[in-house]
Chains A and B, each alone.
Chain A
Amino acid sequence: MSLRDSILATLVAALVLSTMPWLLSDFALSLTLTCLMYAGLAVSWAMFCGATNYLSLATAAFFGLGAYVTAWGAEGLPYGVAVLLGGLLAAAFAGLVGAAVLHLRGAYFAVITFGLGELVRHAVTYYEKAFQGTVGRVIEEPPEAVTIYHTVLLLAVLATVTALVVRASRLGLALRGIGADEERAQTLGVNARRAKILAFALSAFFAGALGAAMAVRWTYIDPPTVFNPFIGFQTVLIAMVGGAHTIIGPIASSVLFSLLTEFLRLQFPYLFMILLGLLLILLVLYLPGGLASLIGRWRWRKSNA
Chain B
Amino acid sequence: MREPLLSARGVTVRFGGLVAVDGVDLDVHGGELVGVIGPNGAGKTTFFHTLSGVLVPTEGSVVVAGDDLTGRPPHAYALHGVARTFQTPRVFKEMPAIDNVRFGLEFAGRTRKHAHDAFDEPGAILDFLGLADVAAVPAGGLTPSKQRLLEIGMALGARPRVLLLDEVAAGLTHAEVDLTAQLIRRVRDELGLAVVWIEHAVRVLMNTVERVAVLHQGRKIADGDPRVVARDPAVVEAYLGEEGEPERKAA
A binds B: yes
Q: In the complex the two chains form, what is the Cα distance from A36 to B105 in whole Å?
A: 38
A189 close to B86 (CB less than 8 A): no
With A177-B103, A185-B103 as known contacts, state yes or no: A192 contacts B73, CB within 8 Å.
yes
Interface size class of A (residues with CB under 8 A): 10 to 19
B5 within 8 A of A: no
Number of A-B contacts (CB under 8 A): 67
Q: Is B73's CB under 8 angstroms from A188's CB?
A: no
Q: Pick the contact of A186 from B73, B93, B106, B111 — CB < 8 Å? A: B73
Q: Contact check, A191 vs B73: say whether CB atoms are below 8 A apart.
A: yes
Interface 1/0 per residue, B101-115 and A, CB below 8 Å: 001101111110000
Chain B residue with Cβ nearest A174: B107
A168-204 interface bits toward B, Cβ cutoff 8 Å, 1 = contact, 0 = none: 0010011011001101111111111100000000000
B86 to chain A: which residues have CB within 8 Å? 184
Known: A173-B103, A173-B106, A183-B54. A188 touches B94 (CB 8 A): no
Task: Given A188-B154, A189-B158, answer yes or no on A180-B73 (Cβ-Cβ < 8 Å).
Answer: no
Closest to B157 in A: A188
A223 CB to nearest chain B CB (Å): 38
Is there a chain A Cβ closer than 8 Å to B128's Cβ? no
Distance in Å from the Cβ of A188 to the closest Cβ of chain B?
4
Q: Is the CB of B54 within 8 A of A188?
A: no
Residues of chain B contacted by A193 (CB below 8 angstroms): 73
Given A183-B54, A183-B74, A184-B86: A190 and B107 within 8 A (CB)?
yes
Q: Is B147 an interface residue (CB 8 A)?
A: no
CA distance in complex: A190, B53 (Å): 13
Q: Are B84 and A189 in contact (CB under 8 A)?
A: no
A189 touches B90 (CB 8 A): no
Selected from A173, A181, A191, the residue in CB contact (under 8 A) with B75 is: A191
- Could you tell me if A187 and B95 are in contact, using CB atoms closer than 8 angstroms? no
A187 to B95 CA separation, bound complex (whole angstroms) = 17
Chain A residue with the shortest CB-CB distance to B52: A187
A192 engages B75 (CB within 8 Å): yes
Residue of B nearest to A193 (CB): B73
Instruction: Map CB proximity to A onto B154-185 as digits: 1 under 8 Å, 0 otherwise.
Output: 11011000000000000000000000000000
Closest chain A residue to B90, Cβ basis: A184
Q: Are A189 and B92 neighbours in the complex by a CB distance under 8 Å?
A: no
Contact assessment for B90 and A188 in the assembled complex, using a CB-CB cutoff below 8 Å: no
Nearest-Cβ distance from residue B125 to partner chain A, whole angstroms: 13
C-alpha spacing A181/B103, complex, angstroms: 12
Contacts of B78 in A (CB 8 A): 186-189
8 A-B contacts (beta carbon < 8 Å) = A184-B92, A186-B74, A186-B78, A187-B83, A187-B84, A187-B158, A189-B158, A190-B107
Residues of chain A having any CB pair with chain B under 8 Å: 170, 173-174, 176-177, 180-181, 183-193
Closest 9 CB pairs of A and B: A189-B108, A189-B107, A189-B78, A186-B74, A180-B92, A188-B104, A184-B90, A187-B74, A186-B75
Apart from A181-B90, A189-B107, 13 more pairs, CB < 8 Å: A173-B106, A177-B103, A180-B92, A184-B154, A185-B103, A186-B53, A187-B54, A187-B74, A188-B154, A188-B155, A188-B157, A189-B158, A192-B75
Binding site for A on B (CB under 8 A): 52-54, 73-75, 77-79, 83-84, 86, 90, 92-95, 103-104, 106-111, 154-155, 157-158
